[in-house]
């Protein structure tokens, strides 16, 4: 009887150790997955009742994206994040203070129409890319970019989803040409001005993202609204700004669009395509920086793929950071659901653990580099 009890005791001890080990591994895996998410939220102050509080403190998401207005027409009473300088700086400080790992705090501050920071309250460039490209004065572009980058740095924002390196090819495009978001139809001019913007932001420790890979300038439609096929419009020249800036070793981020081109991938748009992200961007262009998806709640994705399929294919394509704006469509549980879905995909062998660890390591290294630059600037 005594021997039986000893055997049972040893079995339970081994089982408990194995269980604890698996639990620890699962906790670590979920933390790694959460770091791959940038999520939008509502509210201009941080309270424990705000969902983003638990998304950061409990889930450990990698970052947030800030908006100045609510674009979800079904929930008009929701308020977003930006009011004035002191309010936004305080909000960002509060967000960082509850995060175990430093947050990516991101924004779309291109200048011109796509600007979340109003010049009425913030010292930022008011010029759009179209004006800067037409003026074609690189020193002027650099000075304007530094004005914006300095303000972003003072606010605690460390990612700017800019510059746009789309070529101004389709003059009827409402989302690119119509909003003057492109510097030029000449890839050399686009590359030159984008380089000034990137270097100005690098100086202040802010990651920029070349967008919208592989190029939205020739597209007929808008991925915010629905499916966009560039099979018959996309040109080889649209890749040139990416190639140039990647070769110069200054690009730290690239944003992948939801554009579809059956010549590259017959089934999936760029953001969900291994052929686009890994084969073309990582291998062909030899890019090794962070890869961000465009907002996966855009109708080009949301109307055509399930949330689980989008997450799976984006990660397996090679994307490091999944952007969920929570602005075009609000879902308070989206971060929690995303972590659970990806976790189960890993546990079921659909996504390798090594794939998650690879992006996690890139994200942590990028954040460590940002911290070094922040400390250097503080000493100055």
Q: How far apart are CA 170 and CA 271, in angstroms?
A: 22
**Is 295 annotated as catalytic?**
no
In the sheet with 63-65, reading across from the earlier edge strand, the strands are 207-208, 159-160, 104-107, 63-65, 37-40, 322-324
Percent share of the chain, pLDDT over 70? 93
132 vs 23, residue with greater confidence: 132
Residue 167 domain-assigned (yes or no): yes
pLDDT, position 374: 72
pLDDT, position 174: 94
Average pLDDT over residues 341-353: 97
Residues 228 and 199 sit within 8 Å (Cβ to Cβ): no
Residue 221 domain-assigned (yes or no): yes
Percent share of the chain, pLDDT over 90? 88
Residue 133's region, left for phi above 0, alpha for psi from -120 to 50, else beta, is alpha
pLDDT, position 88: 98
Q: How far apart are CA 125 and CA 119, in angstroms?
A: 8
Task: Choose the catalytic residue: 265, 294, 295, 320.
Answer: 294
Residue 2 domain-assigned (yes or no): no
The total number of structural domains in the chain stands at 1
* CB proximity list for 322: less than 8 A, separation 6 or greater: 36, 37, 38, 293, 296, 311, 314, 315, 338
Task: Choose the catalytic residue: 72, 94, 222, 224.
Answer: 224
**Is 380 annotated as catalytic?**
no
pLDDT, position 77: 87
Three-state SS sequence of the chain: CHHHHHHHHHHHHHHHHHHHHHHHHHHHHHHHHHCCEEEECCCCCCCCCCHHHHHHHHHCCCEEECCCCCCCCCCCCCCCCCCCHHHHHHHHHHHHHCCCCCCEEEECEEECCEECCCCCCCCCCCCCHHHHHHHCCHHHHHHHHHHHHHHHHHHCCCEECCCECCCCCCCCCCCCCCCCCCCCCCHHHHHHHHHHHHHHHHHCCCEECEEEECCCCCCCCCCCCCCCECCCCCCHHHHHHHHHHHHCCCCCEEEECCCECCCCCCCCCHHHCHHHHHHHHHHHCCCCCEEEECCCCCHHHHCCCCHHHHHHHHHHHCCCEEEECCCCCCCCCHHHHHHHHHHHHHHCCCCCHHHHHHHHHHHHHHHHHHHHHHHHHHHC
Residue 6 domain-assigned (yes or no): no
pLDDT at position 119 over 50? yes
pLDDT, position 249: 94
Q: How far apart are CA 15 and CA 31, in angstroms?
A: 24
pLDDT, position 114: 96
Calculate the average pLDDT of the chain: 93
Residue 15 domain-assigned (yes or no): no
The 10s digit of each residue's pLDDT in 196-213 is: 999 999 999 999 999 999
Residue 275 domain-assigned (yes or no): yes
Q: How far apart are CA 279 and CA 263, in angstroms?
A: 13
The 10s digit of each residue's pLDDT in 258-295 is: 999 999 999 999 999 999 999 999 999 999 999 999 99
CATH number at residue 238: 3.20.20.300
The 10s digit of each residue's pLDDT in 58-73 is: 999 999 999 999 999 8
pLDDT, position 76: 87
Would you place residue 378 in the very low, low, confident or very high pLDDT band (cuts 50, 70, 90)? low
Q: Does the CA dihedral 343-346-347-353 come out positive or negative?
A: negative
Residue 30 domain-assigned (yes or no): no
Residue 139 domain-assigned (yes or no): yes
pLDDT, position 372: 76
116 vs 251, residue with greater confidence: 116
Chain-centre distance for alpha carbon 30: 19
Q: How far apart are CA 340 and CA 229, in angstroms?
A: 31
pLDDT, position 140: 98
Average pLDDT over residues 313-317: 98
Q: How far apart are CA 130 and CA 112, in angstroms?
A: 9
The 10s digit of each residue's pLDDT in 2-52 is: 444 444 443 444 444 444 446 889 999 999 999 999 999 999 999 999 999
Average pLDDT over residues 370-380: 68
Beta bridge partners of 106: 65, 159
Residue 34's region, left for phi above 0, alpha for psi from -120 to 50, else beta, is alpha
Beta bridge partners of 253: 290
pLDDT, position 23: 87
pLDDT at position 237 over 60? yes
pLDDT, position 371: 81
Domain membership of residue 183 as a residue range: 35-379
């Amino acid at each position: 009887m005594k021997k039986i009890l000893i055997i049972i005791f040893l079995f339970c001890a081994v089982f408990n150790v194995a269980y604890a080990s698996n639990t620890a591994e699962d906790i670590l895996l979920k933390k790694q997955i959460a770091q791959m998410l940038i999520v939008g939220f509502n509210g201009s102050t941080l309270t424990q009742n705000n969902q983003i509080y638990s998304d950061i403190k409990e889930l450990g998401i990698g970052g947030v994206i800030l908006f100045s207005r609510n674009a979800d027409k079904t929930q008009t009473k929701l308020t977003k994040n930006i009011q004035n300088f002191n309010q936004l700086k305080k909000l960002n400080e509060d967000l960082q203070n509850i995060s175990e790992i430093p947050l990516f705090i991101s924004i779309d501050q291109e200048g011109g129409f796509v600007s979340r920071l109003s010049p009425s309250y913030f010292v930022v460039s008011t010029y759009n890319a179209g004006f800067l490209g037409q003026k074609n004065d690189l020193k002027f572009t650099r000075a304007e970019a530094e004005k914006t980058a300095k303000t972003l740095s003072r606010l605690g924002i460390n990612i700017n989803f800019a510059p746009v390196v789309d070529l101004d090819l389709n003059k009827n495009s409402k989302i690119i040409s119509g909003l003057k978001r492109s510097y030029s139809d000449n890839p050399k001019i686009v590359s030159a001005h984008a380089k000034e913007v990137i270097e100005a932001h690098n100086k202040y420790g802010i990651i920029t993202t070349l967008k919208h890979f592989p190029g939205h300038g020739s597209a007929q439609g808008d991925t915010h609204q629905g499916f966009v096929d560039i099979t018959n419009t996309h040109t080889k020249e649209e890749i040139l700004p990416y190639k140039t800036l990647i070769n110069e070793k200054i690009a730290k981020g690239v944003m992948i669009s939801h554009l579809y081109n059956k010549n590259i991938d017959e089934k999936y748009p760029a953001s969900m395509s291994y052929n686009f992200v890994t084969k073309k961007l990582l291998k062909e262009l030899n890019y090794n920086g962070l890869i961000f998806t465009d907002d996966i709640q855009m109708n080009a994705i949301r109307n055509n793929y399930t949330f689980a399929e989008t997450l799976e294919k984006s990660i397996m394509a090679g994307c490091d950071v999944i952007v969920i704006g929570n602005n075009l469509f609000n879902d308070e549980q989206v971060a929690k659901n995303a972590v659970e879905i990806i976790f189960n995909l890993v546990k079921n062998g659909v996504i390798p653990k090594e794939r998650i660890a690879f992006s996690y390591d890139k994200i942590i290294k990028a954040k460590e580099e940002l911290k070094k630059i922040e400390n250097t600037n503080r000493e100055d």
